[in-house]
Amino acid sequence: MPHCELSYSDDLGIDAKAILAEVEDCILSHDEGAGETKGRAFPAPVFHHSHLKASVALLSKPHRGAAFTAALQADLVQRIAAHLPRPCWLSVDITYSTATYHTEFLE
């Protein structure tokens, strides 16, 4: 299950829920078996320069190599940028969880 955290300057006036949904849709378009993307948004009232950083974490899998990562990152940048006012900085960081990562749904 992927994760996405948005950290951004709160002057952007963005719809963080819409961006998180866009990130999930984007990941699923590249890997339909990825599952739901857990997302959180952290607006920062104190900042220096308007910006948004999207940190995306995925499980390591054989098909998620360099070409997959580059294509996903390019698509994420394009889709997230469509939600942002100008001018502002945008950063997208994709990481892969280690073998010791554990997740489960608790009921």
pLDDT in tens, 1-33: 899 999 999 999 999 999 999 999 999 999 999
Query: Do the Cβ atoms of 48 and 11 come closer than 8 Å?
Result: no
The predicted pLDDT at position 10 comes to 96
Cα gap 4→31, rounded to integer Å: 15
What residue ranges define each of the domains in the chain, with the CATH number in brackets? 3-97 (3.30.429.10)
Give the whole-number percent of the chain exceeding pLDDT 90: 93
For 42-84, the pLDDT digits (tens) are 999 999 999 999 999 999 999 999 999 999 999 999 999 999 9
Would you give the DSSP letter of residue 42? E
What is the predicted pLDDT for the residue at 71? 98
> Dihedral, CA atoms, 90, 86, 20, 49, nearest 10 degrees?
50
